[in-house]
Amino acid sequence: MFEEITQIDDFEGLLKTCPAVLAYFSGPDCNVCKILKPKVEEMLVGNFPQIRGVHINLNNTSELAVNYSVFIVPTIVMFLENRELFRKSRAFGIHELKELIDRPYQLLFK
């Protein structure tokens, strides 16, 4: 389940303490975000249980959007050991996302 993040300090602290974080940036008016979010959550829980999933609503945390250069929703940013591994915005599929995560996840946690 995605944890809601509303403060930049909370997010940056999480990046420093968790080896793997997937950040899901969205907005309340984004219909694609509403459809995609549960699918991403299900993928994480079923395939990558050691990745910490967080949800960031850009309407509540514009500072996070600016600091992490997120200007389009939905945007997913994957961090490993406090470094950005990849980002996907707007048009992407669950299978594509799973493939991008699988190899680094296997290296880090297996």
4 band by pLDDT with thresholds 50, 70 and 90: very high
Q: Which domains, from first to last, does the chain contain?
A: 3-109 (3.40.30.10)
pLDDT band, very low/low/confident/very high, at 94 (cuts 50, 70, 90): very high
Taking the whole predicted model, whether its pTM rises above 0.85 is answered as yes
Mean per-residue pLDDT over the chain, rounded = 95
Cα gap 11→54, rounded to integer Å: 9
- Give me Rg for the CA atoms of the chain: 13
Distance CA 59, CA 46 (A): 29
Instruction: For residues 10-31, give the mean pLDDT.
Output: 96
Distance of CA 79 to the CA centre of its chain: 8
Give whole-number Cα distances, 40 to 4, 8, 51, 76, in Å: 15, 22, 12, 10
Q: pLDDT confidence of 91, banded at 50, 70, 90?
A: confident
- pLDDT in the model for residue 60: 86
Q: What is the share, in percent, of the chain residues with pLDDT greater than 70?
A: 100
- How confident is the model over 43-65, as a mean pLDDT? 94
Q: Both ends of the chain: CA-CA distance in Å?
A: 22
